[in-house]
Chains A and B, each alone.
Chain A
């Protein structure tokens, strides 16, 4: 049973460019959340997708956008990259929906983005 997979593992971009990161959730999961983790800090919530819609969003600018596909996989897009966007980007999958009483999220290994 494959866990959460993210691609690519590492990426180097130039300031002002755009980047797309990808995530495939754990089998059976339908909800994907994205987190940004700067060096030495805990992960910070960006947003969550459920049923192909953004369900909740953290304190991130509109340069950060996402998408969820019918197969539950997801993309994170960041436009107009800044040096400060350099971080480990983590995807977490879980089972959402009103019938789920307690949610346990499982994380991928992350994509290390470096903006130069």
Chain B
């Protein structure tokens, strides 16, 4: 699976959009991009995933660049409850069944 690079930490003002970048320059054509988040001491929570098209659900939007070497997770109106560590993961299924979590980005939403 391709390796991902994320900034270690980011701040965002409450009510503003949070844009979390992820670099995956070695991604291959059959690898999906997944985003999870982990609120302190809880299990990771699935947010969204995509292959090459932009995706949106009730939690967030995922923007994948045309060359697929990077992506951005967008939380449109961040709240204090969105403070968490956000993980960007790329993986092939079903060839690799494990998800390789890096250190993630610690997002702090401030009032």
A contact set with B: CB distance below 8 Å: 4, 31, 33, 35, 41-45, 48, 55-56, 58, 88, 90, 92, 96, 98, 100-110, 112
From B45, B96, B101, contact of A42 by CB (8 A): B101
Query: Which residue of the partner chain A has the closest CB to B98?
Result: A45
B49 and A41: CB pair below 8 A? no
**What residues of chain B have their CB less than 8 Å away from a CB belonging to chain A?**
32, 34, 36, 41-46, 49, 87, 93-94, 96-104
Bound together, the chains give a CA A97 to CA B93 distance in angstroms of 10
Contact indicator A102/B32 (Cβ below 8 Å):
yes
Q: A107 touching B93 by the CB < 8 A rule?
A: no
Measured between beta carbons, the chain A residues less than 8 angstroms from B100 are 45
Number of A-B contacts (CB under 8 A): 62
Report Cα–Cα, A42/B103, bound state, in Å.
5
Partner of B99, one of A45, A102, A110: A45
Given known A42-B87, A102-B32, contact A58–B98 (CB-CB < 8 A): yes
The 9 A-B pairs of least Cβ separation, nearest first, read: A42-B101, A45-B98, A107-B43, A56-B97, A48-B97, A103-B93, A107-B44, A43-B101, A109-B43
A to B CB contacts below 8 Å, 22 in the list: A4-B43, A33-B97, A42-B101, A42-B103, A43-B44, A43-B101, A44-B101, A45-B99, A45-B100, A48-B97, A55-B97, A100-B94, A101-B93, A102-B93, A103-B93, A103-B94, A104-B46, A104-B49, A105-B46, A106-B46, A107-B45, A108-B43
